[in-house]
Chain A
Amino acid sequence: MESVVKLEVQDYHLFYGDFRALRGISVQIPAHHITAIIGPSGCGKSTFLRTFNRMNDLIPGVRVEGQATLDGQDIFEVDVVELRRLVGMVFQRPNPFPKSIFDNVAYGPRAHGVHERARLAGIVERSLRDAALWDEVKDDLGKSALALSGGQQQRLCIARALAVEPQVILMDEPASALDPIATLRIEELIQTLKQKYTIVIVTHNMQQAARASDYTAFLMMDEERAGYLVEYGPTRDIFTNPRHKQTEDYITGRFG
């Protein structure tokens, strides 16, 4: 199996002040595939995910060691604002802005300098189509985004992220706040998205990881409460033939 590496971390550590939250993680995330990050709650999956768009920088007192690269370039050397455009994020709980549907999706492009109405309209339509939301909202883009259902709001957030033309989409348990039907729609959407984007998804739902992802990374918490990588590889291997006992225990539900 051949893959092009999109994102990579090597011997990556993250500290909150003196407390080590992530320990020595090394992973290569391949382009145009879906990589899932699983593990018991509190082991640092979200923290690890947020490495890739440097959202952890927002926390005062945070410190990193090791390397993290996008297309071979150190993400701590490039402009963080531009990095975040290229590496988009969808959050656990849908967080549409208190604006109209149109203004939510157009927010990113506007911020990046696109102001002509026609061009914005085109971007908004394309993004909403890619997020499988266009048909449901096309008649009233002026409606407040907060009036949408939970599943629709999350797809709106995906559309919003797509509107700035990222290369990677990070998803932090995107369906955990949604009902099963909405969850399924999101999962189908993610499958279509991987053709154009690289997807990294954190999930606590193992079945979701097993059926929806191409590669899986399993994280756990050590005795000092630092998250570390137990195992990483193609999803089929991880779930049918795990190399570590901890992985097997977690997958079969013996803990976590």
Chain B
Amino acid sequence: MQDAGWRIEHRDRTFVLTTSNLAWRHFAQRVAFALLWLAGIMAVAVLVVVVAYVVLQGVKVINPEFLLTPPRGGLSGEGGISTTVVTTLYLVLLTISIAAPLGVGAAIYLVEYAGQMQGQGRLAYLVGVVRFGVELLAGVPSIIFGLFGYALFVTAMHLGFSLLSAALAGACLLLPVVIRASEEALRAVPRSFREGSLALGTTQWQTVWGVVVPAALPGIITSVVLSVGRVISETAVFYVTLGGSYNLPRSILSGGRSMALHLYYLAMDTRAFEKAMGTGAILIVVIVLINLIINFLSHRLAARLGGA
């Protein structure tokens, strides 16, 4: 609004100049962004192509017989995959029951207790070493865990090719995964929860078990679900510890074949590609389900802490 004391005389008519390279800069951006869009589309396309191909080829062989009869061996991979499904299940349960307590326990220690190490120099140093160890483990490839499992569990401890050897080796593989994800979940719990509990005169363990862990539970469960996914897709580590028998394992000292391994044998030994595709299709469906569960849990985690 103009005021009485001052007036506008005329408008300065300097037009907006264009610098010489403006058109070029806009063009360069358009080209660059087109390429970037292409990259994004390609990433999705790759996923779609691989998944669609495997699933479409795989459903041709999937029927109740495929799922419910055991493999019968033979030159062209006769039979179904029932025993492998059960073996996979056993493997998952056994591996998780070893890895989860150890991993979550380690995470709890690192987050809840390690912070207390003021003045106790030796233990603080130890925590640093543990962290380093976890990071190192995270970078070790699956086959090395398999080799290690072969050396220690299969051979030295005379457990032979068995569910137990495989589960122990697999647990070593999973340890960093569980620890990292659980650590994140525990760290996300607000300080106020712990302080509130301690202020009531509880011991640290009571606080951890009664307040912190329940609050971090979705995140911890996520890490367990993640591990389940890893066990199902992992192959190399089990290849050298589980053995190749397609029969149903009768005890944890028996060997067997997980679905992923069965796929490998079908493709490599008997060249039964269709059945391999079928197995692959089922694996993909399971992994997709697991991913959905993880996403759902992550949202619940965010919601729960957001409303806290």
Contact = CB atoms under 8 A, between A and B. Distances in A.
A and B associate in one complex = yes
Interface of A: 1-6, 26, 28, 31, 70-73, 78-79, 81-83, 85-86, 111-113, 167, 229, 232-234, 237
Contacts of B13: 71-72
A237 B5 contact: yes
Contacts of A70: 16
Contact of B22 (A1, A26, A71, A79): A79
Give the interface SS of chain A, mostly helix, strand, loop or mixed: mixed
A85 B19 contact: yes
Contact of A81 (B10, B11, B14, B26): B26
B15 interface: yes
Nearest to A32: B12
B228 to A, nearest CB: 37
Contacts of A232: 1, 3
A228 to B, nearest CB: 12
Contact of B3 (A6, A112, A233): A233
Given A85-B19, A112-B21, A71 B14 contact: yes
Contacts of B195: none
B15 A71 contact: yes
Nearest to A77: B16
Contacts of A81: 22, 25-26
Contacts of B15: 71, 73
Contacts of A6: 12
A86 B18 CA distance: 10
B9 A3 contact: yes
30 contacts: A1-B5, A1-B6, A2-B6, A2-B9, A3-B6, A4-B8, A28-B8, A31-B12, A70-B16, A71-B11, A71-B14, A71-B15, A73-B15, A78-B16, A79-B16, A79-B22, A81-B22, A81-B25, A82-B19, A82-B22, A83-B16, A85-B19, A111-B25, A113-B19, A113-B20, A167-B14, A229-B1, A232-B1, A232-B3, A234-B6
Nearest to B26: A81
B11 A113 contact: no
Given A4-B10, A232-B1, 17 more contacts: A3-B8, A4-B11, A28-B2, A71-B13, A71-B15, A71-B16, A72-B12, A78-B16, A79-B18, A79-B26, A81-B25, A81-B26, A82-B17, A113-B21, A234-B3, A234-B6, A237-B5
